[in-house]
Amino acid sequence: LFSLFCVSVTQFCLAAFVLLAVSDWWIAALLYAGWLWLDWDTPTSGGRRCHWVRKWSVWRHFRDYFPLELVKTVDLDPTQNYIFGFHPHGVLVAGAFGNFCTEATGFSRLFPGLRSHLLMLPFWFRVPFFRDYIIFYWISPISINKISQWLPQLIKISFKYICC
């Protein structure tokens, strides 16, 4: 259901941009295209984390609908880097999004000092308007460079062989 929502929203965003471009508002589409060109590297540099978007009340309803729960089993040192893996991935990303991109389950309260980043396919960052929405959550395109940016030098070498 969540994946269907994402696909529907991206189709709407793409259609809105095309309709804007072929309407009397074409100058707005042109200005936005210029913004995309100037802002192209923002997703790969970490995005624009917006705490008030992460705390929207709609995320509590999202958490209750699916239902989501984040269980802390151990204290984590906030000076270290960690990888939280989740499976299944792909079409069932509601848990990862709700736990790591919003405050619906209290990530920052459970893990003070840690910043969560969700990595997803680079394709989603090419969809006009939708890319700006997901950048607010510090969602970044997945790449070996992005993973290596957050991990110490020793782990960087290991991941180069795993991801490539």
Instruction: Calculate mean pLDDT across residues 67-85.
Output: 83
Whether this prediction's pTM lies above 0.85 is answered by no
In whole angstroms, what is the distance from residue 114 CA to residue 7 CA? 30
Q: At what angle do helices 26-38 and 2-21 cross, to 10 degrees?
A: 120
Least confident of 3-12, 56-65, 122-131, 144-153: 144-153
Residue 61 makes CB contacts below 8 A (sequence gap 6+) with: none
Q: How high is the pLDDT of residue 162? A: 40
Strand, helix or coil for residue 119: strand
Q: How high is the pLDDT of residue 160? A: 39
Buried b (16+ CB within 10 A) or exposed e, 26-48: eeebeebeeebeeeeebbeebbe
Cα–Cα separations (whole angstroms), residue 37 to 17, 116, 133, 161: 15, 27, 16, 32
Buried b (16+ CB within 10 A) or exposed e, 118-138: bebeeebbebbbbbbebbbbb
47 has which bridge partners? none
151 pLDDT higher than 70: no
pLDDT in tens, 32-54: 999 999 988 888 776 777 888 88
In whole angstroms, what is the distance from residue 112 CA to residue 95 CA? 20
